[in-house]
Structure 1
Amino acid sequence: MSKIKVLDISLANQIAAGEVVERPSSVVKELVENAIDAQAKKITVRIKDAGRSFIAVEDDGIGMNQEDAKLAFERHATSKISTTFDLFRIKTLGFRGEALPSISAVADVELITSTGEGVGTKINVSSESYEVEDAPLRKGTTITVRNLFYNTPARLKHLKNDYIENANNLEVMQRISLANPSVAFTYINEDRVVFETTGRGDLLEVIYNLFGSFNASKMVEVKFDNPDFSIYGFIGKAEIAKSNRYQMITLLNGRHVFMPKVNRAIIDAYKDFLPTNRYPFVILNFKIDPALVDVNVHPSKKEVRFSKEEDLRKQLLNLIPATLSKEDLSF
């Protein structure tokens, strides 16, 4: 008898969930990115108990018909890529088709969606049931996640305290909002509105809404464009320098990513404007041809590779000091 067996689909989904769904903020990130890919212009996120018991993401995107809604819970079912060629020109935030099946493997999930035509669809998925029924005809999608990690007690036990998990949730929402200033976000924690953005496409306004008027008033706009990439964002004056690197926010094609070489270049560019124990507050969005970017490096998509990284690094070493030198920024 063969010793190698094909895994049961529910077990395979739980294994996949271990990579995709690390904590409540992973769920928030995946669901909000799906809403953005669905062309939503208004997204509301609600959480309770730091996301352990309740996460809901409501959008006004294109919605799904019943057939697509059912397929959304199948692994590697996606509308975002269909060929190998597409994998090397990814223009969406999601593309693997792993989010919903991974989340529903470790939580109770309710999906309500409609394209605005025909009839809406409601799907409830849990360990014991899979129910599909008609729903109200409101264009868009609402996904509610309850009892996260109820069937993986080890994962639940090793979540951090509410303060840390709430901080992670807030960080995810802030970075997604900064990457998408043309989308109106409302973030609600325990029935309290934490922040709202207008969706008017004004990045400085988003910075104001997230970090307050003082920080926004100390930011300086930067712009650069060439055939290979463009840079747009705001860099902070010395008054709002930080003791850590958490506010060095780099965005690539609308996605928050970590780029060690680029981050190092930003720090080096500030060397004549900040002491060695302080780090700049910067929010920079880089636009690069998707064909030059590989986002399929890590399940979280936080790490990317792109072929023009060295050129981008050199440009930042010139652009940032040139911009700062026009301001009275030093301590």
Structure 2
Amino acid sequence: MSIRQLPEILINQIAAGEVVERPASVVKELVENALDAGATRVDIDLEEGGVRLIRIRDDGGGIAPEELPLAVSRHATSKIASLDDLEAVATLGFRGEALPSIASVSRFTLASRRPGDAHGSALQIEGGKLGEVTPRAHAPGTTVEVRELFYNVPARRKFLRAERTELGHIEEWLRSLALARPDVELRVSHNGKPSRRYKPGDLYSDTRLGETLGEDFAAQALRVDHSGAGLRLHGWIAQPHYSRASTDQQYLYVNGRSVRDRSVAHAVKMAYGDVLFHGRQPAYVLFLELDPTRVDVNVHPAKHEVRFRDSRLIHDFVYRTLKEALAETRAGMTATAGAAEAHALPGTAAGSASGYGTPGGGYALGGGGGGGSMAGQWRPQQSPLGLQVADAPSAYAALYATPAGGVSAALPPMPSYNGLPATAADSGVPPLGYAVAQLHGIYILAENAEGLIVVDMHAAHERIGYERLKTAHDGMGLHAQPLLVPITLAVGERDADTAEREADTLVALGFEITRSGPGSLHVRSIPALLANAEPEGLLRDVLTDLREHGQSRRIASARDELLSTMACHGAVRANRRLTVPEMNALLRDMEITERSGQCNHGRPTWARFSLAEIDRWFLRGR
């Protein structure tokens, strides 16, 4: 068969196969064009899930009449003009393929008017065939009308789903856009009826957050804002007990562009690894900002993916930022990462500059870390119950009996509350309050400034012991155990290359490895703590992580799993009766222990009920 040039219409239809997957793809491309044109309001009219009609109207800059035919020709754009522009793209669109591709598989009309023009102009295209530019009355801005999508490509049309399904894809994309562009008003109608409106506003007012992801997410979200190494990560991450069965509430934006990135997703999952149930997914809305020259957005026809020039740095930055934010989820407070002030729980005072938000009265902790002691001495406070809390009783030390084979972690002194703000000093009540009773040998009931605190004592003590064991092991480092008989491990050539390249990293993880052939490794030592584990499978997983993400937490995760089991066995059990001083000592430890809001398995360790909420139980004031 001889070589021949493809017709222009067929070229556009082939391109449409990459750019236009379904009606949601059309909406995405057209709305992004409107935003790039400076629109502050976009109206989206749909019929039959977008298959029969998609009409996008905006109040942007408009298109000159003589440029309308150029706008629907391939690779015509106002957004880039050189390779330098391509390497620093700051707009959502730049390829110049969307309009001609969409026009080639639909009945297409483009109408526009620039501010200052006497009237608008319109151009009709049917199946890729251009009509004439004609005058038309039109408000400033642009309207793109797409009718009968895929009418001339019946094979593609047969693959479209039911009307409700196609509409759902459009609504999901608009939800993602609404999170990224709270400054833009979005109005949606379907089959002639208004279906959704996103009012313009400030994303950080939480209004848009609640509109898009629901009030539950907004109430459970921790604000994150951290900068470093020319990067900024900000947005929200849901507290661990607000987890999902799927990834339906995971939104990542790179320089304002909604993308999917395996490396960032892996970093987020790693950060949650110590506080989430197995199989559960974290929820988040994260915005990553960096120099446009450090990210390549031209790697996917639909612009769903990007490629970072420093992927290892990005992975580490995201992981450490979120890990530190989650570490501050101490019981009784919430936290932000990298911010000078904390965002307290709803209805509470803001926290101190140390990054903690505290319940009623602005109660603040002056320092300390997971399981560590606080500087200064305990200043006895008179509790509302007339209980004098001074020193942890000796009986409390029994709660920290070292599990068999574990590492001893000394019981710290009671925390200091010196230097309290005036509001905290007036109330004299710690975040988790003072214990009043034990319920069924399982729960501690405590009274704080706001109302009632309920603590699962086993779950709370399990987390405290676990964090202490981790701290102790972190101080010791990962020791290597030489193998009596070295192991020869057959791996793929890529894994062997990775082992050779990452030899120093593997040594730090406790592996001593030499390459013995193109696809084989000689393993001379393994991490001592995991000597009873199956080293071959563990090493293969580590090499895969190093190859794909530049780092691995397989060893740390396996170690943490072992320490978690030890902490669980060493924790105080249900039906053990504690004295009031013992319960108070446990509450104080929870307040200074990282991640104490969840147990080792991701379950919450405490709950709070305000007096107003309790009053509603009994219809008081009605």
Range into which the TM-score falls when normalised by the shorter chain: over 0.9
1:247-266 alignment runs, 5 A limit: 247-266=249-268
1:269-280 alignment runs, 5 A limit: 269-280=271-282
Name the amino acid aligned to 1:315: F
- Could you tell me which residue of structure 1 aligns to residue 319 of structure 2? 317
Q: Secondary structure at the match of 1:131?
A: coil
CA separation in 2, counterparts of 1:264 and 1:194?
A: 35
CA separation in 2, counterparts of 1:283 and 1:191?
A: 32
In structure 2, relative to structure 1, the CA distance for the partners of 1:239 and 1:195 (3 Å cut) is: farther
Deviations 1:189-236 (A, max 9, x none): 333444322222324322111122222111111001124211111111
CA separation in 2, counterparts of 1:259 and 1:194?
A: 31
1:53-202 alignment runs, 5 A limit: 53-118=52-117, 119-127=119-127, 130-202=131-203
Name the amino acid aligned to 2:60: G
Tell me: higher relative CO, structure 1 or 2? Use CA pairs within 8 A at least 6 residues apart: 1
Conservation of the 8 A alpha-carbon contact between 2:294 and 2:309: yes
Deviation, 1:314, is 1.2
Name the amino acid aligned to 2:156: R
- Could you tell me which residue of structure 2 aligns to residue 298 of structure 1? 300
1:224-243 alignment runs, 5 A limit: 224-243=226-245
How many residues are paired up?
330
Name the amino acid aligned to 2:23: P
- Could you tell me which residue of structure 2 aligns to residue 308 of structure 1? 310
CA separation in 2, counterparts of 1:323 and 1:124?
A: 53
Superposed CA RMSD in Å reads 1.6
Shifted more, 295-304 versus 212-221: the winner is 212-221
Deviations 1:34-72 (A, max 9, x none): 011001111121211111101111111111110222211
Shifted more, 29-38 versus 212-221: the winner is 212-221
- Could you tell me which residue of structure 2 aligns to residue 220 of structure 1? 222
In structure 2, relative to structure 1, the CA distance for the partners of 1:129 and 1:65 (3 Å cut) is: closer
Identity %: 35
Q: Secondary structure at the match of 2:207?
A: helix
Deviation, 1:303, is 1.1
Name the amino acid aligned to 2:146: V
In structure 2, relative to structure 1, the CA distance for the partners of 1:89 and 1:169 (3 Å cut) is: same
- Could you tell me which residue of structure 1 aligns to residue 491 of structure 2? none
Name the amino acid aligned to 2:133: V
Conservation of the 8 A alpha-carbon contact between 2:42 and 2:187: yes
Conservation of the 8 A alpha-carbon contact between 2:179 and 2:203: no
Deviation, 1:247, is 1.4
Deviations 1:12-39 (A, max 9, x none): 1111111111111110110011011001
Deviation, 1:172, is 1.2
Q: Secondary structure at the match of 1:240?
A: coil
Deviation, 1:129, is 5.7
CA separation in 2, counterparts of 1:122 and 1:286?
A: 39
Q: Secondary structure at the match of 2:133?
A: strand
Deviations 1:138-168 (A, max 9, x none): 1111111110000000100011222322221
CA separation in 1, counterparts of 2:152 and 2:65?
A: 28
Deviation, 1:100, is 0.6
Conservation of the 8 A alpha-carbon contact between 1:173 and 1:187: no
Q: Secondary structure at the match of 1:160?
A: coil
Deviation, 1:180, is 1.5
Q: TM-score, normalised by structure 2?
A: 0.51
In the alignment, structure 1 segments of 5+ residues that lack a partner are none
Deviation, 1:241, is 1.1
Name the amino acid aligned to 2:240: A
Conservation of the 8 A alpha-carbon contact between 2:213 and 2:249: no
CA separation in 1, counterparts of 2:232 and 2:199?
A: 24
- Could you tell me which residue of structure 2 aligns to residue 34 of structure 1? 33
Conservation of the 8 A alpha-carbon contact between 2:68 and 2:133: no
In structure 2, relative to structure 1, the CA distance for the partners of 1:211 and 1:313 (3 Å cut) is: same
In structure 2, relative to structure 1, the CA distance for the partners of 1:226 and 1:40 (3 Å cut) is: same
Q: Secondary structure at the match of 1:155?
A: helix
Conservation of the 8 A alpha-carbon contact between 2:240 and 2:272: no
- Could you tell me which residue of structure 2 aligns to residue 286 of structure 1? 288
Aligned equivalent of 2:269, options 267, 270, 278:
267
Deviation, 1:188, is 2.4
Deviation, 1:80, is 0.4
Deviation, 1:132, is 2.0
Name the amino acid aligned to 2:158: K
Name the amino acid aligned to 2:264: V
CA separation in 2, counterparts of 1:201 and 1:309?
A: 31
Name the amino acid aligned to 1:248: Q
CA separation in 1, counterparts of 2:86 and 2:2?
A: 34
In the alignment, structure 2 segments of 5+ residues that lack a partner are 332-596, 604-622
- Could you tell me which residue of structure 2 aligns to residue 13 of structure 1? 12
Shifted more, 111-120 versus 250-259: the winner is 111-120
Conservation of the 8 A alpha-carbon contact between 2:241 and 2:276: no
Deviation, 1:94, is 0.6
Shifted more, 67-76 versus 208-217: the winner is 208-217
Conservation of the 8 A alpha-carbon contact between 1:179 and 1:251: yes
Conservation of the 8 A alpha-carbon contact between 1:233 and 1:284: yes
Name the amino acid aligned to 1:167: G
Conservation of the 8 A alpha-carbon contact between 2:259 and 2:303: yes
Conservation of the 8 A alpha-carbon contact between 1:196 and 1:209: no
Name the amino acid aligned to 1:225: S
CA separation in 2, counterparts of 1:137 and 1:194?
A: 24
- Could you tell me which residue of structure 1 aligns to residue 328 of structure 2? 326
